[in-house]
Amino acid sequence: MNGKVLDIRDLSLRFATSAGPVHALRNITMAVPSGEIVGVVGESGSGKSTLALAVMRLLPGNATVTSGAIGFGGGDLLTLDEEAMRALRGNRIAMVFQDPMTSLNPVRSIGQQMVDIQHRGRASPAEKRRKAAAALKRVGMPDAESQLDRHPFQFSGGMRQRIAIAMALVQRPELLIADEVTTALDVTLEAQIIHLLRELRADIDGSILFISHNLGAIAEICDRVVVLYAGEVVEHGPIAEIFSHPQHPYTRALIACDPARISTATRELPVIPGDVPNLRHVADGCIFQPRCSVAIAKCAAERPPDRDCGAGHVARCHLVPEGLP
């Protein structure tokens, strides 16, 4: 594995709610190696966005990190003061959201916004504008120079997502976090954005944390994948390995439900039976046990160990034999 751009160790956090604490992330350990694209996949409520917001230190006020470290650039992001974190955001770490309007200001032209985010650079305003136009051109914006004076609402959803990506890339971040960036797009636009991100990774020489509930998108773009279930990493490893030899019953179920992999025409897509558990009361044993069709007696009582399956592939399940490699 290359050096790690992002190195998350034993991260746990909870949200305070009127009904009690929600243990949304529990002992998350995962890394993004330098120059690689790492996918984080899981159903709704598995903690994907919470994980991204924890890295950006943009968690809502009711969140408390209870353990762990988020290693980046030789330090721990959790120990930085707010000013240092602000300097890092959008500069060394950039994030693109599902809704591009989250990061675009509706009342300023995109050219003004793309110049604004370069405020730390010493280049002249004309040079910054040229850089902005180049970034727009790079993400496939036709006639980029003349688009700089237009406002976000004057673009389609797909183009707005390209603009958000160009905004993120103009600073050449070491880490780009893409949170469900293709979810709101139709399949054609989704394929275009995935293609674009794949190309851009070479440009920025950076690493991408690609968060999605869509296994097809993850398979298209990622080198590695982390499978998150109810706030825990249940399996992780190189993408080809996870898709060809998934070890965890949850990963197998996710793959079985992936529309792209269902060969027979059907109007009803399969879903994994049962619901993501209530994270206010995390039971002993395996977190997936209530939904697992192959559970054995000890699954309800004993927390499964992380089993090393070889080649950087790890699965948290009692049924994965010890010393598999």
Q: Which residues bind ligand ATP (CB under 6 A)?
A: 15, 17, 22, 24, 42, 44-50, 60, 62, 213, 279
Find the shortest distance in angstroms from Cβ 143 to ligand ATP: 35
Closer of 21 and 35 to ligand ATP (Cβ): 21
Out of ligand SF4, ligand ATP, none, what residue 47 binds, judged by CB under 5 to 8 A for its kind, is ligand ATP
Window 133 to 152, contacts with ligand SF4 (CB under 6 A): none
**Residues 102, 110 contacting (CB under 8 angstroms):** no
CA distance 155 to 226: 34
Query: Is 317 a binder of ligand SF4 (CB under 6 A)?
Result: yes
Out of ligand SF4, ligand ATP, none, what residue 299 binds, judged by CB under 5 to 8 A for its kind, is ligand SF4
Return the SS3 of 192: helix
Find the shortest distance in angstroms from Cβ 64 to ligand ATP: 11
Q: What are the beta bridge partners of residue 15?
A: 22, 63
Question: What are the CA-CA distances from residue 25 to residues 12, 72, 159, 259, 297 (Å)?
Answer: 5, 19, 33, 28, 26
Site string for ligand SF4, 30-59 (x = CB under 6 A): ------------------------------
Using the contact rule CB under 6 A, the part of the chain among 27-35, 90-98, 123-131, 314-322 near ligand SF4 is 314-322
Closer of 144 and 211 to ligand ATP (Cβ): 211
Closest Cα partner for 109 from 133, 142, 91, 92? 133
Find the shortest distance in angstroms from Cβ 181 to ligand ATP: 13
CA distance 22 to 15: 5
Using the contact rule CB under 6 A, the part of the chain among 69-77, 103-111, 200-208, 294-302 near ligand SF4 is 294-302
Query: Is 288 a binder of ligand SF4 (CB under 6 A)?
Result: yes
Find the shortest distance in angstroms from Cβ 315 to ligand SF4: 8
Near ligand SF4 by CB under 6 A: residue from 57, 128, 138, 318:
318
Token reading at 112? 């003004």
Other CB atoms within 10 A of residue 89 CB: 15
Other CB atoms within 10 A of residue 6 CB: 22
CA distance 141 to 164: 12
Closer of 53 and 319 to ligand ATP (Cβ): 53
**Residues 47, 25 contacting (CB under 8 angstroms):** yes
Window 194 to 253, contacts with ligand SF4 (CB under 6 A): 248-249
Question: What are the CA-CA distances from residue 7 to residues 31, 56, 73, 107 (Å)?
Answer: 4, 13, 9, 37
Query: Is 309 a binder of ligand SF4 (CB under 6 A)?
Result: no
Question: What are the CA-CA distances from residue 95 to residues 98, 113, 161 (Å)?
Answer: 10, 15, 12
Query: Is 289 a binder of ligand SF4 (CB under 6 A)?
Result: yes
Rule CB under 6 A: which residues touch ligand SF4?
248-249, 286, 288-289, 292, 294-295, 299, 304, 317-319
